[in-house]
Amino acid sequence: MKHTKIKDLLNSTKPIDDVIVKGWVRTFRNNQFLAINDGSVIHNIQAVIDFENTSADTLKRLTTSAAVLVKGNLTESQGAGQKHEIQVKHLEILGDSDAEKYPIQLKNKPSLEFLRENAHLRVRTNAFGAIMRVRSVLSFAIHQYFQEKGFVYVNTPIITGSDAEGAGEMFHVTSLPINDAPKNEEGAVDYKQDFFGKETNLTVSGQLEAETYAMALGQVYTFGPTFRAENSNTSRHLAEFWMVEPEVAFNDLDANMDLAEDFIQYVIKYALERCEDDLKFLDQRLTDEEKTKPMAERSEMSLLAKLNFVLENNFKRVSYTEAIEILKNSKPNKNKKFNYIIEEWGADLQSEHERFLVEKHFKCPVILFDYPAKIKAFYMRLNDDAPQDRQTVRAMDILFPGIGEIVGGSQREERLEVLQQKIADLGIDEKELWWYLDTRRFGTAVHSGFGLGFERLVLFVTGMGNIRDVIPFPRTPQNAEF
């Protein structure tokens, strides 16, 4: 039987006869009031059952998470808490849920860690239903933004022979037997006998490949899975995550910063307009969570205030050198309150430094630019006017309240000789990047791009504290469950 989404029924402006709803039981009380949710909206619809004419056996089966079908008349609710309800004429249980064994008992307020261990069921809770709807809307907004701007969507390889970041923390891909891999004359694994005839890995970024397409199509973007074999068990790291990476020919760093700021504000505004109920719920959830923390650790802004903060404030653009001076002279640094004390130019900024700049000093989103060359990747354009002991590159990071870095990007090094020298200095085999260098040999031009870790964006927009809670099935060290 055809059914109607609960979201549509709750938005109805008039009574409707003979509606059909299919969903899962959230609660059942007084043998009469059944709360049903179908995932289309955070709110449940109340179905009122004529329990005197319903078998006791059926009533007993109305347990949390049982799948049901109800048919009846949509009417104005007589009780408080809901605008509409369904006066049930027909009830059918589509799938039972054993109350004794169902692991997520909402009345006990399961911990986030417990819910991660039951990631296949956690989306049935209000919080995770809201998070995943927001994630979906943000994903759509990203595509819509770039499509409206005339970008070409490019699917870059997931299996690659290059290390875009030069970090070496990559997952190997092989079809060779692990315990009996063929060896070459030097005694190393002979990858010439492997499926691809060379050593390959899961990609850490689609940037290098996207650059080659930008140098023909003008402006492109990738949006796909990336992988880091970094043994980091923190609330901000995943081994598998999604990256958004636009690359634009003829854009310098200033144009790159303009694009990133406009893009971020667009997708956040899009989510605020289309996920109002979910974000209100997540805002209240965060407020309740903050109340359990010591005063010194509480956020100064609510979730909705943070989101509007980003929309209402222009991003402050500050050079790395200026930021270092601010941090060196700050009270937390002088009083040794930072975990990582800033002593000299060249320090790699930590989240605590980034958040200080955003939340305490400038009180607005910040774009840091012109970082020391030694702490940034080889493909970033070297500044011509920097002294030898303070060489900088045309890099930029966008910093947000509560999260620190959310975007990293740069103007790319378009000069062949400079790029070749940087590759040589890092000990990278130029033959591995012959195709990348070709874009500098044939029609090179200024070009720029950035990367946005999608889960970092979802983390910010939903107000969650752990990145494992904004992806359906998190992949982390020692955990590949589900």
Contact (CB, 8 A) for 359 and 399? no
What is the CATH number for 23?
2.40.50.140
Backbone angles phi and psi of 316, in degrees to 5: -75, 130
Q: Is 458 helix (H, G, I), strand (E, B) or coil?
A: helix
Contact (CB, 8 A) for 403 and 443? no
Could you tell me if 370 and 267 lie in one domain?
yes
**Taking Cα atoms as reference points, which of 198, 191, 205 lies closest to residue 246?**
205
Give 402-418 pLDDT, tens digit per residue: 888 999 999 999 999 99
Q: Is residue 175 part of a domain?
A: no
**Dihedral angle over CA of 344, 349, 352, 354, nearest 10:** 110
Could you tell me if 268 and 208 lie in one domain?
yes
Q: How far is CA 338 from CA 300, 310, 326, 351, 402, in A?
A: 19, 25, 14, 10, 16
Q: Is residue 233 part of a domain?
A: yes
pLDDT (0 to 100) of residue 426 = 87
Residues 284 and 300: their CA atoms lie apart, in Å, by 14
pLDDT (0 to 100) of residue 33 = 95
Could you tell me if 34 and 98 lie in one domain?
yes
Q: Is residue 108 part of a domain?
A: no
What string of DSSP letters covers 410-448?
EEB---HHHHHHHHHHTT--GGGGHHHHHHHHSS---EE
- Last residue of some domain: 51, 68, 102? 102
| Residues in the chain with pLDDT values less than 70 | 163-168
pLDDT (0 to 100) of residue 388 = 78
pLDDT (0 to 100) of residue 127 = 96
Domain span at 69: 6-102
pLDDT (0 to 100) of residue 157 = 96
Q: How many whole angstroms from its chain centre is CA 324?
A: 28
pLDDT (0 to 100) of residue 318 = 98
Q: Which residues have a Cβ under 8 Å from the Cβ of 128 and sit 6 or more positions away?
A: 115, 122, 469
pLDDT (0 to 100) of residue 277 = 97
Q: Which residues have a Cβ under 8 Å from the Cβ of 302 and sit 6 or more positions away?
A: 283, 286, 287
Q: Is 58 helix (H, G, I), strand (E, B) or coil?
A: helix
Provide the whole-model pTM.
0.94
Residues 299 and 112: their CA atoms lie apart, in Å, by 20
Residues 428 and 412: their CA atoms lie apart, in Å, by 17
Q: Is 417 left (phi over 0), alpha (psi -120 to 50) or beta?
A: alpha
Amino acid at 363: K
Amino acid at 37: N
What string of DSSP letters covers 29-45?
ETTTEEEEE-SSSSS-E
Could you tell me if 220 and 338 lie in one domain?
yes
What is the CATH number for 214?
3.30.930.10
Q: Is 2 left (phi over 0), alpha (psi -120 to 50) or beta?
A: beta
Q: Is residue 481 part of a domain?
A: no
Could you tell me if 47 and 163 lie in one domain?
no
Could you tell me if 98 and 151 lie in one domain?
no
pLDDT (0 to 100) of residue 124 = 95
**Taking Cα atoms as reference points, which of 395, 352, 402 lies closest to residue 376?**
395
pLDDT (0 to 100) of residue 163 = 67
Q: Is residue 120 part of a domain?
A: no
Could you tell me if 163 and 292 lie in one domain?
yes
Residues 352 and 339: their CA atoms lie apart, in Å, by 8
Could you tell me if 95 and 130 lie in one domain?
no
Could you tell me if 220 and 148 lie in one domain?
yes
Q: How many CA atoms lie within 13 A of 196 on its CB side?
A: 10
Could you tell me if 243 and 340 lie in one domain?
yes
> H or E segment at 9?
helix 6-10
Q: Is residue 353 part of a domain?
A: yes
**Taking Cα atoms as reference points, which of 69, 62, 64, 124 lies closest to residue 94?**
69
Could you tell me if 299 and 349 lie in one domain?
yes
Could you tell me if 208 and 292 lie in one domain?
yes
Q: Is residue 311 part of a domain?
A: yes
The CA R_g of the chain, rounded to the nearest whole Å, is 27
| Alpha helices, H only, 291-415 | 303-312, 320-328, 331-334, 351-355
Domain count, the chain: 2
332-358: buried (b, 16+ CB within 10 Å) or exposed (e) per residue?
A: bbeeeebeeebeeeebebeeebbbbbb
Q: Is residue 400 part of a domain?
A: yes
Q: Please report how the helices 454-462 and 126-148 are oriented relative to each other, as an axis angle in degrees rounded to 10.
A: 130
Contact (CB, 8 A) for 306 and 300? no
